[in-house]
Amino acid sequence: MEEYLRERYASAAASLSKKLVRRNFQPIICQNLEEAKERALEKIDQNQSVGFGGSITIEQSGIIEELYQRGQKMIDREKTTSPEERHQVMKQALTADCFLTSINGITEDGELVNIDSVGNRVAALTYGPDKVFAFVSMRKVYGDLNTTVEMVRRNTAPLNAHRLSLEKTPCIKKGTCGDCLQAECICNTIAITRRSMAKDRIVILLIIEEVGL
């Protein structure tokens, strides 16, 4: 990453952190994904259960592998062998002690914007696990609320549609969100988290490095 871009993100992160604190979030500024992983690992007790949602950023961090290596109790839908079992494990993850996720977009005022297909990821963010660790790159700070929702729908959703090898949505056919009602739609839920009811329950790992989709 160019130094001038790193400096710009660092300044924005310092300003955004103050706004996140006012909204009862717990921001932690991290220079890169490796630091974000280490900070999260420090805060997760080895006796706690951990669930997680689908996230490229979480996958790239390597935190899942490290949690397994230290004997963490993992609630892992990827270990299931049938759709029915997968569904049950996803429900169990909502009762985990800790939940790992990413954030699709953040407004400059500190509101969190997420678009979800099944809804398990935003459900865990909103209520359930005692602690949520949300990994997010500073390049996902887009502006006001309307701009952030638009950017997530027009940019992140199509990228995820291609990543998941969908076939019939406008994201695939045109490369941009078409407000579809297709069975494959991955934009079924748009969640705006403007404040955490419980102070410091949601830890926002603000990553200076450009990571994720």
CATH number for the domain spanning 179: value is 3.40.50.10420
Residue 43 lies in a domain: yes
Residue 213 lies in a domain: no
Please, which pLDDT band fits residue 183 given cuts at 50, 70 and 90?
confident
Average confidence (pLDDT) over 142-157: 91
Please, which pLDDT band fits residue 162 given cuts at 50, 70 and 90?
confident
Q: How far is residue 80's CA from residue 17's CA, in Å, rounded to a whole number?
A: 38
Residue 212 lies in a domain: no
- Has residue 192 got a pLDDT over 90? yes
pLDDT in tens, 77-136: 999 999 999 999 999 999 999 999 999 999 999 999 999 888 999 999 999 999 999 999
The whole domain housing 161 covers 3-207
Structural domain tally of the chain? 1
Residue 176 lies in a domain: yes
Where does residue 11 rank: exposed (0-12), middle (13-18), buried (19+ CB within 10 A)?
exposed
pLDDT of residue 198: 97
- Give backbone dihedrals phi and psi of 90, rounded to 5 degrees, phi first: -65, -35
Q: b/e map of 127-136 (b: 16 or more CB within 10 Å)?
A: ebbebbbbbb
pLDDT of residue 105: 96
Average confidence (pLDDT) over 56-69: 95
Q: Are strands 141-143 and 105-107 parallel, antiparallel or unpaired?
A: parallel
Q: What is the DSSP letter of 165?
A: T
pLDDT of residue 185: 84
Average confidence (pLDDT) over 22-49: 97
- Has residue 160 got a pLDDT over 80? no
What six digits make up the tokens of 31?
A: 């220079």
Residue 86 lies in a domain: yes
